[in-house]
Structure 1
């Protein structure tokens, strides 16, 4: 999906639209495979298909207005889609009670596009969206064994929280939470338009 992208190729981040469902589904499955191979059972990884995700994303992107003040953003590098992220109001009671009223519910960037500022632009745009929707803080979940993802959230100023969740399915897998008590510095990393269209 992404070709070799060296140099100073600009990252563009925009609101995802219903017609982006197939593109995001393809990104989701590709990034899921890249991220979780070796961390989750093969059968669990194989169960996530483009067809299933396309239907799910079509439904999510077709919701108007989005649920819980949420938004989905699509990132492009050199005009090619390379990542996406979603944010919304906090869905986990223990984190909401701790003051993390917003949530970064997903953030995926294809491996070939990592290290080029795509993830930072996505999370910064989501922080700005959450601020605009009057959320004060945010948290996200990451698989405990996903060291690359954890380093990314730490590099963005995320603090490891005293919260863990256990994913059940084909065995227990532990996720840990990272949080941002205030969103201003994170949102400032997004140089995108301030007109609400971004």
Structure 2
């Protein structure tokens, strides 16, 4: 079973691979294939190295470690944008697991740890955004206690507009 720890600089390439492979698997048939094909581990790692070197980050990056090193990654922190609730709200910015390990509980372990850390930071609720057509992710988050709250936002990928739905749960 995987265990969770804070991401370190040495994890950047592994996390980039988890994120890129995660996108390419989870969003095939949803996000334009041209966009997914253009993603690279090297490009993602370069962006992640730049971000990682910036001081004063409010977000938390956690990795799940398995037999072969990092196998999952979650990033969370303060809600970005207008806070959707009366109390302090945290946000799960991203959660990815190596595609061949999905369904083994790694994502849930990461999510549970992110919830615990957000609660320790004083957040009363957690929010996240899921692509409207990503039904697998919606089921995963619903099983973890999240509910769609009616908010939606659009993002454009290679000229195609895709809608994301906001989900929330109390911590």
If the TM-score is normalised by the length of the shorter chain, which range does it land in? over 0.9
What is the aligned partner in structure 1 of residue 75 from structure 2?
Answer: 86
- Aligned runs of 1:3-152 on 2, under 5 Å? 10-67=1-58, 70-93=59-82, 96-99=83-86, 101-152=89-140
**1:168 is paired with a residue of what secondary structure?**
strand
Unaligned runs of 5+ in 2: none
* Structure 1 segments of 4+ aligned residues over 4 angstroms from their partners: none
TM-superposed deviation, 1:105: 0.3
In 1, the alpha carbon distance for the partners of 2:47 and 2:30 equals 24
What is the aligned partner in structure 2 of residue 7 from structure 1?
Answer: none
Could you tell me whether the CA contact under 8 Å between 2:11 and 2:70 is conserved in 1?
Answer: no
Using structure 2 for the length normalisation, give the TM-score: 0.92
Q: Deviations 1:134-193 (Å, cap 9, x if unpaired)?
A: 11111000101001000000000101111001112321101111101x21xxxxxxxxxx
In 1, the alpha carbon distance for the partners of 2:14 and 2:50 equals 14
**1:150 is paired with a residue of what secondary structure?**
helix
Could you tell me whether the CA contact under 8 Å between 1:161 and 1:178 is conserved in 2?
Answer: yes
Number of residue equivalences? 169
TM-superposed deviation, 1:79: 4.1
Could you tell me whether the CA contact under 8 Å between 1:90 and 1:101 is conserved in 2?
Answer: yes
Unaligned runs of 5+ in 1: 1-9, 184-198
Could you tell me whether the CA contact under 8 Å between 2:21 and 2:99 is conserved in 1?
Answer: no
In 2, the alpha carbon distance for the partners of 1:97 and 1:132 equals 20
Larger strand share, 1 or 2: 2
